[in-house]
């Protein structure tokens, strides 16, 4: 059995120096592990939202607030035909 051991410590002690790490738990996906600036294993907390899809009607709903977290880039925000139907009556 082979083990790969990484020593985290300060540069002066011969190990790698993680003090330059700037990621925080909310910068890393939930369930993923990283080494924080103190050299400790830390679990990420960022929500994975995947593909977010929403609709606005342009009448009662004119905007959409993008939730925080990771987005895959595959989602869409679309305008329903309600606004066209509404404007055609004028």
**Residues with Cβ < 8 Å from 5, sequence gap 6 or more?**
none
At 83 the pLDDT is: 85
Q: What is the pTM for the complete model shown?
A: 0.66
Q: Into how many domains does the chain fold?
A: 2
Closest by CA position to 45, among listed 33, 53, 35, 63? 33
The pLDDT value given to residue 33: 96
Count of helices and strands (H, E) across the chain: 1, 4
Q: Which domain does 62 fall in, by range?
A: 54-88
In this structure, is residue 48 part of a structural domain? no
What's the confidence (pLDDT) of residue 7?
53
The pLDDT tens digits for 31-89 are 999 999 999 999 999 999 999 999 999 889 989 999 999 999 999 999 999 988 888 88
Q: Is residue 6 a part of any domain in this protein?
A: no
Residue 18 has pLDDT above 80, yes or no: yes
Residues 58 and 79 in one domain: yes
Residue the block writes with tokens 């059995």: 1
Residues 58 and 83 in one domain: yes
């Amino acid at each position: 059995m082979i083990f790969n051991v990484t020593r985290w410590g300060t540069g002066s002690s011969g190990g790698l120096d993680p003090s330059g790490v700037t990621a925080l738990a909310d910068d890393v996906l939930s369930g993923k592990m990283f080494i924080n600036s103190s050299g400790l294993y830390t679990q990420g907390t960022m929500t994975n939202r995947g593909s977010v899809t929403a609709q606005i009607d342009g009448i009662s709903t004119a905007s959409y607030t993008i939730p925080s977290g990771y987005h895959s880039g595959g989602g869409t925000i679309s305008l329903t035909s309600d606004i066209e139907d509404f404007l055609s009556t004028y």
